[in-house]
Amino acid sequence: MTQDAFALAALRPATSPLVAVAMVGAALAVGIYLVAVIDALVAAAVAGRSTTMRRQLALPFQRAARLLLQAPTTTEHPDAATSALASASLAALAAGGLVVVPFDRRLVVADVADGIVLFGAAMALVMVAVYLHGWSPNSAFPLIGGYRFVAQALSYEMPIALVLIGTALPAQSLSVAAIVDSQHSLWNVVRQPLGLPVYLIAVAGLAFWGPLATPDAADLAGGTTAESSGPPRLAWTMARAAVLVSASAMGAATFLGGWWGPLLPGPVWMGVKTLALSSVVILAGHLLARVRLERFVTVAWALLIPLALLDILEGGLLALVAR
Amino acid sequence: MAAYGAAVTVVLASALAFGVLVWWGRVLGGGSTASPAMATPPERVPFAGGMSPEFHAWNRYHVRYYAMALLFLAFDMEMVFMYPWAVVFVREGITALMEMAMFIAILLLGILYAWREGALRWA
Amino acid sequence: MGIRAVLTRLAGGAPQPVFAVAGEGGLPALRRLALVEGIELVSTPRAASTLLIVGRIPDALNDPLRQIHDQLARPRHTVVWGEQSFSPLPRATLVAPGEDPIPALGQRDRDHEAGEAPAMPDADPHPWRGVGPYGQGGRGMTGGTPFGRALTGRADDRDGLTLDQLPLAVGPFFPALPSGLVLHVKLQGDLVQDVSVGENPFTRRPGDPPLPAADLALFERALSEPVPIAALELARAAHHLWWLGQALAVHGLAALGHRAWRLAADVADVADGPAPFHAAEALSRRFDRLEIAVRCSRVLSWAIAGADSEGHGLPLAVVASRGLGPVARAAGQHEDARQLDPAYRALGFQPVVHSQGDTASRWRQRLAEIRQSLQLAGAAAEAQGPTSTPSGLVESPRGPITPAGHGPSHALMSLVADLVRGLEWGDAVAAVTSLDLDMAEAARPVGAGVAV
């Protein structure tokens, strides 16, 4: 089994930097746009507003134009370097997580042997990016938002890492491309049913979306975004959507069989599966209230981690039996 | 190695792209009259509903969940050991499973202790 | 520049972000505006370019409002939709109370070049002060006042540590709190260690212009003349639904909150209109669906249950004795002025009561009261339906009122400080939201009152 993995890897050529940047950039750009459209559609449906598809398709561009034309603001004594660094690094981390995800059998930017570890490292640093975004304006409510997110980040780190390790067991490799290859007979969502729900909850925490939108909460007057306006505000919104897209793509690759699928080409299937996972998180965002952080932390440690460990146990036993 | 190079390139390119977006937006948003440097002091007051704050917001924030952070450190180390274990697991067979199960059981006792001692509740 | 023109045309299609501020008598009009599709009410002035002032702003709120105006992103515009010109912001566009403000808002929005200048003087509020000619020397570690503002001092914490404590005045226009409520909090981390409620800025002084129509005008009318019960109950349901929408938005369910507001607007339209109160049936069914969505959110119930019910917050007896209306009934008090009315008794009215007295109880209480009001309205839905018996006491949505005294919010305000002390910020906001305060009503004297 390991020999096959190496043989398949040999078929994948190394991508040139220009192609790499173009691929990831295009994937993120399309993903961010579609996430914005789906979010607006779901919001309109839940609110009972009637709206046309055409209006919703144009709306992300119109909102972006409005933000680009608005003037940026600063506070009295902010930390200018970290405030510039926050949105840029959040987007960069999202892109960094996406580089290890294969879009097709031979189409992956960075087929590293430990793709899951690289993804985990990128997602761990999201905590730093969001915290800096809250700390840099030197304002009370963004600061509270930043510290809230640190508690949340420390709690979702473990479940997300553990369920991804669970998917690595049948593939005997930490490389995401190998994990996708190992799902040619059966998707991991069927083999390890506990994995995807735990993963989705952790993704909601990672992208601070919906029930876990604690750093940018309404009771903090917008939290870390309370002092941002104009292009920096747009950059933050886009970066957050990029994190959601990147984590959903990883979930599609590790749980939903990646580019495997009949009829349609691989990248299309990846896109469909990524959007499906993003839509689940977006829907939860409009139907579930924002959690009370203490309660979420208790749930993450006392429920999600044991579930993830159970998932690993079950996946491991199945992998041994299937050997 | 080339793979890591591609990864680093993408990361730096995205950071650069977002930096350019913000800079271009500032230029677009009206140039010098809208530049943050031209803002008057009242425009720069942090928002707290209309009153002007008396102190800097930066302070030695009481991070009440420090006990949970220590628990996280322990589990982070467990995670580090599980990564290589996952790769050799099938090859090593049932003994690998038993050994990891013992390791995890000890750490789960740690979670149970922390939970009962109230490390996960801090308000 | 060509790109700028393209962006400007594109931006015209997006909803206009507006930071809205409600003065006296402004809340009902503002709530309707939240439903308009071209307007988006935002939670921080930095996200908006337009400041909308609805209702009368008393003099005590002039300075905070000028501060908020300056905190808007440039180019900034102001629209005043109310009864007077707002002298601190002379360049604002004025809209008369009965008119539609949307055209004025849109017109100012398109006016990209003519943004308003800052309202407050261009002077550093806390300049660097030292002793010597270069600002050096003086008291403190860095001489003078570091960076103009001081760093916070320390205070003891209940954990036995001595850490920094941040005194903060959370101002009159904080979006998650009632308009006009000022909380002087001392935060350690995000825990409110101490809190005091600022003076009510809507307190009336001699020489103030006459009061605008009350938010609860129908209930004040019922003090002296018979009013159809169906209209009263629909107005009550509409009031609670407006509260529900606002509370859902604070808890992160903005879209569901919107749905509640649309239902509230429809219920209010039926209440204000002529007699077809049989529409109450359809409205009741819509509310059923909304209530299922709200109740099914287990996560919401965790958020609401909060620290309030785990030993912090107010003891049940205090809430029961000092609370009014739904707040008291959520704490086990079987007091409802409607049960003294024979017309209500004929319809089989029994007060709804819950026993815990915490935030979750108050939520359940209001949801139950909405359902009860819609059912009563349906039962009283004939054209010559039963009318209320005028006595000196009417149960308004926030509590009982009499012809003399203050509105029910006045008594509820006294609960805020003790309720919030010791809670985390998120729990504090949830608790204050569950009280359903209106600062303008709390300051209203003769004309509406509470049986204290």
Count Cβ–Cβ pairs < 8 Å, chain A vs chain B: 234
- pLDDT tens figures, A250-289: 999 999 999 998 889 989 999 999 999 999 999 999 999 9
Specify whether the CB–CB gap between C75 and B30 falls below 8 A.
yes
For residue B122, list chain A residues with Cβ-Cβ distance below 8 A.
Answer: 294
- Max Cα separation, chain C? 84
- Please give the Cα distance from B95 to B85 (Å, whole number): 12
B 46-65 residues with CB below 8 A of A? 46-49, 53, 56-58, 61, 63, 65
- DSSP, collapsed to helix, strand or coil, labels residue C206 as coil
Model confidence at A39: pLDDT above 90: yes
- Please give the Cα distance from C281 to C305 (Å, whole number): 31
Q: How confident is the model at residue C422 (pLDDT cuts 50, 70, 90)?
A: confident
**CA distance readout (Å), A309 to A96, C232, C375:** 27, 57, 50
Q: Is C117 on the interface with A (CB under 8 A)?
A: no
- Please give the Cα distance from C140 to C159 (Å, whole number): 28
- Over the range C197-230, which residues count as b (16 or more CB within 10 Å of their CB) and which as e? bbebbbeeeeeeeebbebbbebbbbbbeeebbbb
Q: How confident is the model at residue B68 (pLDDT cuts 50, 70, 90)?
A: very high
Q: Position of tokens 């300056």?
A: C70
C 426-445 residues with CB below 8 A of A? 426-427, 429-430
Q: How confident is the model at residue A43 (pLDDT cuts 50, 70, 90)?
A: very high
Percentage of residues of chain A with pLDDT beyond 70: 95
Give the chain B residue nearest A12 (alpha carbons).
Answer: B3
Model confidence at A10: pLDDT above 60: no
Q: How confident is the model at residue A121 (pLDDT cuts 50, 70, 90)?
A: very high
Q: Is B36 on the interface with C (CB under 8 A)?
A: no
For residue B57, list chain A residues with Cβ-Cβ distance below 8 A.
Answer: 137-140, 142-143
Chain-centre distance of CA C7, in angstroms? 35
Q: How confident is the model at residue A302 (pLDDT cuts 50, 70, 90)?
A: very high
pLDDT given for residue C139 in this prediction: 60
Phi then psi for residue A99, to 5 deg, are -65, -25
Model confidence at C144: pLDDT above 50: no
User: Does residue C150 or residue A237 have the better pLDDT?
Assistant: A237
Model confidence at C153: pLDDT above 70: yes
Q: Which helix (H) or strand (E) holds C67?
A: helix C62-71
Contacts of A253 (CB under 8 A, 6+ apart): A101, A102, A176, A179, A180, A270
Q: Which of A95, A94, A81 is nearest to A132 (CA)?
A: A81
What is the average pLDDT across C60-82? 90
pLDDT given for residue C452 in this prediction: 33
Q: Which of B81, B115, B90 is nearest to A305 (CA)?
A: B115
**Cis preceding linkage at C172, omega within 30:** no
A 212-231 residues with CB below 8 A of C? 213, 217-222, 225-230
Specify whether the CB–CB gap between C54 and C29 falls below 8 A.
yes
- Please give the Cα distance from B72 to B59 (Å, whole number): 24
Two structure tokens written together for C46: 């930095």
Is A71 in Cβ contact with C175 (below 8 Å)? no
Specify whether the CB–CB gap between A271 and A107 falls below 8 A.
no
Model confidence at C449: pLDDT above 50: no
Model confidence at C163: pLDDT above 80: yes
Q: Is A38 on the interface with C (CB under 8 A)?
A: no
Length of chain A measured in residues = 323
Q: Which of C43, C59, C373 is nearest to C175 (CA)?
A: C43
Two structure tokens written together for B114: 């922390």
What is the average pLDDT across A13-37? 87
Q: Which helix (H) or strand (E) holds C416?
A: helix C409-420
Percentage of residues of chain C with pLDDT beyond 90: 28
Q: How confident is the model at residue C448 (pLDDT cuts 50, 70, 90)?
A: very low
**CA distance readout (Å), C6 to A22, B27, C38, C231:** 26, 15, 20, 50
Is C65 in Cβ contact with B40 (below 8 Å)? no
Is A109 in Cβ contact with B4 (below 8 Å)? no
For residue A292, list chain C residues with Cβ-Cβ distance below 8 A.
Answer: 302-303, 305-306, 426-427
Distance from the Cα of C46 to chain B's closest Cα (Å) equals 8
Model confidence at A245: pLDDT above 80: yes
- Chain C touching partners, 3 or more CB pairs below 8 A: A, B
Q: Which of B22, B29, B86 sits opposite A168 (nearest CB)?
A: B86
For residue A10, list chain B residues with Cβ-Cβ distance below 8 A.
Answer: none
Interface confidence (ipTM) of the complex? 0.91
User: Does residue A130 or residue B38 have the better pLDDT?
Assistant: A130
Model confidence at C142: pLDDT above 60: no
pLDDT given for residue C320 in this prediction: 81
Give the chain C residue nearest A72 (alpha carbons).
Answer: C73
Distance from the Cα of B25 to chain A's closest Cα (Å) equals 5
Model confidence at A1: pLDDT above 50: no
| Region of poorest pLDDT, from A203-217, A232-246, B54-68, C137-151 | C137-151
Two structure tokens written together for C440: 């303008």
Mutate to test the interface with A, among C44, C152, C425, C429 (most CBs of A within 10 A): C44
Q: Which of A71, A226, A287 sits opposite C74 (nearest CB)?
A: A71
* A196-A164-B94 Cα angle (round to 5): 110
| Region of poorest pLDDT, from A153-157, B109-113, C198-202, C204-208 | C204-208
User: Does residue A133 or residue C109 have the better pLDDT?
Assistant: A133
Contacts of C397 (CB under 8 A, 6+ apart): C216, C219, C235, C236, C239, C240, C325, C326, C436
pLDDT given for residue A11 in this prediction: 46
| Region of poorest pLDDT, from C160-169, C175-184, C276-285 | C276-285
Is C11 in Cβ contact with A218 (below 8 Å)? no
Mutate to test the interface with A, among C6, C42, C43 (most CBs of A within 10 A): C43
Task: Indicate left, alpha or beta for B53 from its phi (over 0: left) and psi (-120 to 50: alpha).
Answer: beta
- pLDDT tens figures, C354-395: 888 888 888 989 999 999 998 888 888 765 677 877 887 888
Count Cβ–Cβ pairs < 8 Å, chain A vs chain C: 158
Q: Is C190 on the interface with A (CB under 8 A)?
A: yes
Specify whether the CB–CB gap between C419 and C436 falls below 8 A.
no
User: Does residue C452 or residue A306 have the better pLDDT?
Assistant: A306
Q: Which of A76, A82, C157, C195 is nearest to B60 (CA)?
A: C157
pLDDT given for residue C332 in this prediction: 87
- Please give the Cα distance from B121 to B104 (Å, whole number): 23
pLDDT given for residue C359 in this prediction: 86
Q: Which of A304, A255, A307 is nearest to A276 (CA)?
A: A255
Give the chain C residue nearest B123 (alpha carbons).
Answer: C424
- C347 burial type by CB count under 10 A (0-12 exposed, 13-18 middle, 19+ buried): middle
Give the chain B residue nearest A174 (alpha carbons).
Answer: B87
B 63-92 residues with CB below 8 A of C? 63-64
Give the chain C residue nearest B25 (alpha carbons).
Answer: C4
Q: Which of C300, C382, C82 is nearest to A291 (CA)?
A: C300
Q: Position of tokens 């393209």?
A: C6
- Please give the Cα distance from A61 to C445 (Å, whole number): 50
For residue C300, list chain A residues with Cβ-Cβ distance below 8 A.
Answer: 288-289
Q: How confident is the model at residue C310 (pLDDT cuts 50, 70, 90)?
A: low
For residue C67, list chain A residues with Cβ-Cβ distance below 8 A.
Answer: none
Q: How confident is the model at residue C237 (pLDDT cuts 50, 70, 90)?
A: very high
Is A21 in Cβ contact with B44 (below 8 Å)? no
Q: What is the pLDDT of chain C when averaged over all its residues?
A: 83
Is A84 in Cβ contact with B19 (below 8 Å)? yes
For residue A50, list chain C residues with Cβ-Cβ distance below 8 A.
Answer: none
Contacts of B38 (CB under 8 A, 6+ apart): B32
The angle that helices B2-28 and A17-47 make with each other, rounded to 10 degrees, is 60
Q: Which of A237, B40, B27, A77 is nearest to C76 (CA)?
A: B40
Distance from the Cα of C230 to chain B's closest Cα (Å) equals 39
- pLDDT tens figures, B5-38: 778 888 888 888 888 887 777 766 655 445 566 7
pLDDT given for residue B7 in this prediction: 80
Q: How confident is the model at residue A295 (pLDDT cuts 50, 70, 90)?
A: confident
pLDDT given for residue C143 in this prediction: 46
- Please give the Cα distance from C39 to A128 (Å, whole number): 34
- Chain A touching partners, 3 or more CB pairs below 8 A: B, C
Q: Which helix (H) or strand (E) holds C425?
A: helix C425-435
Is B62 in Cβ contact with C189 (below 8 Å)? yes
Q: Which long-range contacts (CB under 8 A, 24 or more apart) does A266-273 make?
A: A266/A103, A266/A104, A266/A105, A266/A107, A267/A103, A267/A104, A267/A107, A270/A101, A270/A102, A270/A103, A270/A104, A271/A30
C 168-187 residues with CB below 8 A of B? 168-175, 177, 182
* A290-C163-C168 Cα angle (round to 5): 60
**Which range in A219-223, C71-75, C406-410, C444-448 is most confidently predicted, on average pLDDT?**
A219-223
Q: How confident is the model at residue A234 (pLDDT cuts 50, 70, 90)?
A: very high
Is B65 in Cβ contact with A297 (below 8 Å)? yes
For residue B68, list chain A residues with Cβ-Cβ distance below 8 A.
Answer: 151, 154-155, 297, 301
Q: Position of tokens 């009031």?
A: C239
DSSP assignment of B5-73: HHHHHHHHHHHHHHHHHHHHHHHHTTGGGG-GGG--GGGGSPPSSSSPPSB-S------TTHHHHHHHH
Mutate to test the interface with A, among C302, C427, C433 (most CBs of A within 10 A): C302
Length of chain B measured in residues = 123
Specify whether the CB–CB gap between C416 and C294 falls below 8 A.
no
Give the chain C residue nearest A43 (alpha carbons).
Answer: C255
Q: How confident is the model at residue A141 (pLDDT cuts 50, 70, 90)?
A: very high
Is C182 in Cβ contact with B51 (below 8 Å)? yes
Q: Position of tokens 């529409």?
A: C279
DSSP conformation class of A39: H
Is C293 in Cβ contact with A225 (below 8 Å)? no
- Please give the Cα distance from A51 to A241 (Å, whole number): 23
Give the chain C residue nearest A56 (alpha carbons).
Answer: C14
- Enumerate the H helices of C174-279 as residue ranges: 217-221, 229-250, 254-272
DSSP conformation class of C281: H
What is the average pLDDT across C262-289? 80
Is A286 in Cβ contact with C253 (below 8 Å)? yes
Q: Which of C377, C379, C411, C408 is nearest to C395 (CA)?
A: C408
Model confidence at C451: pLDDT above 50: no
- A184 burial type by CB count under 10 A (0-12 exposed, 13-18 middle, 19+ buried): exposed
Q: Which of C3, C61, C71 sits opposite B28 (nearest CB)?
A: C3
C 113-152 residues with CB below 8 A of B? 118-125, 147, 149-152
Q: Is A284 on the interface with C (CB under 8 A)?
A: no
- Over the range C297-331, which residues count as b (16 or more CB within 10 Å of their CB) and which as e? bebbbbbbbbbbeeebbbebeebbebbbbbbbbbb
Two structure tokens written together for C49: 């370019």
Q: Where are the beta strands (DSSP E) in C146-182?
A: 154-156, 162-164, 166-170
Specify whether the CB–CB gap between C174 and C250 falls below 8 A.
no
Task: Indicate left, alpha or beta for C402 from its phi (over 0: left) and psi (-120 to 50: alpha).
Answer: beta
Mutate to test the interface with A, among B18, B40, B76 (most CBs of A within 10 A): B18
